[in-house]
């Protein structure tokens, strides 16, 4: 065996700590086959060409299969060696871990202790800060809470804030003081608005009470006027009834007088010796008495005409005023103008925009003047 044949082998070994792998025999075989098959072309349509192609492929497949077999053969000792290395390392690692674990547990326990302490400190710090930030937020929230409160309650809130001790806010004291200043200023604005709102509400309530009083007074005066008008209507109806009775009594008296005249004429023309003469005298006497009674009855009916009422003395001015429209509303369906009231002696005493105002104390006199005017019109119409 010469030197060339010795070198043409496939081997794998570790030399001086270096892995040496050579496939000299396979590479030599590949070189020979490259010469033989590189660029080869076959006429596969012929038996010889097909046979030659298949033979060439078989030779190459065989070389490749031998190479794989050789690879596994060379690698087997290395795999076994690796397993031994791993197995021994695992054993030694377990021994090391036995020594390491107790120390590691102590270190990790202390690390956990430090982490717990750190977290506890952070939580305590966060809680401490939150107490202050929540208190500052509460101060800010007073503005929203006071939106619909009374001026008195808002004033108490301002006094509370101004007397609030901020020393406990620690490093948040400046922020708390600034927040208190802003909140107090905002509450002062709300208090001013509340004062204006309450004054307006009081004014409206006073106006409502006054309007209710005037309305009640107008209603009472209207009731009195309606009662007076009903009394006048009753008196007028009584006067009309008496007038009818007077007319009827006068008619009957006239008829009795005429009858008496006829009887007197009959008595004058009658024969004194006639038996009916005394009877005619009695009839004449009865007719005369009947006529006298009817005339007296008419006189009594005339005397029974009821006098019309007159209003009471005027009242002192209370300062209350009533609009012309309110007066017309109280005497509806009747109505009167400002000129009409002036003609009755009641000019307006003030104006409110387009409305003319009159003294509420004059309402009774105004109604009485209207009644007197109506009475005068009645009397004139009756005449």
pLDDT at 279 over 70: no
Q: Is residue 271 part of a domain?
A: no
Name 336's Cβ contacts closer than 8 Å, sequence gap at least 6: 327, 328, 370
Q: Is residue 172 part of a domain?
A: no
Q: Is residue 136 part of a domain?
A: no
pLDDT at 159 over 90: yes
Query: What integer is the mean pLDDT of 288-314?
Result: 52
- Least confident segment among 213-217, 273-277, 353-357: 273-277
Q: Is residue 230 part of a domain?
A: no
Name 176's Cβ contacts closer than 8 Å, sequence gap at least 6: 132, 135, 136, 139, 166, 169
Question: What pLDDT was estimated at residue 213?
Answer: 84
| Residue-by-residue DSSP string for 57-71 | HHHHHHHHHHHHHHH
Measure the CA–CA gap between 337 and 325, rounded to whole angstroms.
9
* Of 316, 317, 312, 328, the residue nearest 368 (C-alpha): 312
Q: Is residue 348 part of a domain?
A: yes
Query: What integer is the mean pLDDT of 330-346?
Result: 92
Domain that holds residue 362: 317-383
- Each residue's pLDDT tens digit, 168-208: 888 998 999 999 999 999 999 999 999 999 999 999 999 89
Query: How many structural domains compose the chain?
Result: 1
Q: Is residue 286 part of a domain?
A: no
| Residue-by-residue DSSP string for 235-294 | HHHHHHHHHHHHHHHHHHHHHHHHHHHHHHHHHHHS-TTSTHHHHHHHHHHHHHHHHHHH
- Each residue's pLDDT tens digit, 135-157: 999 999 989 998 889 999 999 99
Query: What integer is the mean pLDDT of 331-340?
Result: 91
Give yes or no for a contact between 166 and 180, defined as CB atoms under 8 angstroms apart: yes
Average pLDDT, the chain: 84
Place 297 in a pLDDT band, splitting at 50, 70 and 90.
low
3-state secondary structure of 323: strand
Q: Is residue 162 part of a domain?
A: no
């Amino acid at each position: 065996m010469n030197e060339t044949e010795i070198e043409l082998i496939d081997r794998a070994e570790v030399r001086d700590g270096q892995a040496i792998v050579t496939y000299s025999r396979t590479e030599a075989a590949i070189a020979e086959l490259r010469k033989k098959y590189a660029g080869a072309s076959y006429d596969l349509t012929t038996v010889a060409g097909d046979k030659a192609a298949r033979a060439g492929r078989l030779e190459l497949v065989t070389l490749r299969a031998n190479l794989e077999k050789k690879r596994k053969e060379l690698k087997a000792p290395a795999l076994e060696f690796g397993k031994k290395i791993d197995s021994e390392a695992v054993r030694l690692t377990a021994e090391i871990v036995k020594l390491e674990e107790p120390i590691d547990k102590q270190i990790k326990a202390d690390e956990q202790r430090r982490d717990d302490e750190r977290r506890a400190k952070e939580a305590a710090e966060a809680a401490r800060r939150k107490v202050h930030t929540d208190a500052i937020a509460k101060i800010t929230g007073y503005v929203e809470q006071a939106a619909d409160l009374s001026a008195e309650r808002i004033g108490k809130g301002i006094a509370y804030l101004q007397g609030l001790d901020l020393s406990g806010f620690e490093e948040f004291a400046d922020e708390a003081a600034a927040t208190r200043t802003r909140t107090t200023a905002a509450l002062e604005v709300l208090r001013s608005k509340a004062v204006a709102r309450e004054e307006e509400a009081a004014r409206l309530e006073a106006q409502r009470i006054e309007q209710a009083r005037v309305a009640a007074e107008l209603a009472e005066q209207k009731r009195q006027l309606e009662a007076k008008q009903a009394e006048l209507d009753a008196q007028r109806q009584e006067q009309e009834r008496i007038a009818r009775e007077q007319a009827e009594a006068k008619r009957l008296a006239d008829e009795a007088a005429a009858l008496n005249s006829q009887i007197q004429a009959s008595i004058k023309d009658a024969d004194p010796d006639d038996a009916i003469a005394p009877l005619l005298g009695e009839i004449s006497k009865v007719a005369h008495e009947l006529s006298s009674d009817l005339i007296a009855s008419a006189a009594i009916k005339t005397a029974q005409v009821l006098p019309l009422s007159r209003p009471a003395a005027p009242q002192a001015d209370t300062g209350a005023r009533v609009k012309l429209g309110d007066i017309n509303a109280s005497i509806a369906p009747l109505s009167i103008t400002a000129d009409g009231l002036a003609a009755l002696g009641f000019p307006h005493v003030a104006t409110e925009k387009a409305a003319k105002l009159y003294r509420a104390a004059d309402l009774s006199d105004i109604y009485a003047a209207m009644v007197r005017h109506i009475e005068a019109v009645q009397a004139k119409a009756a005449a």
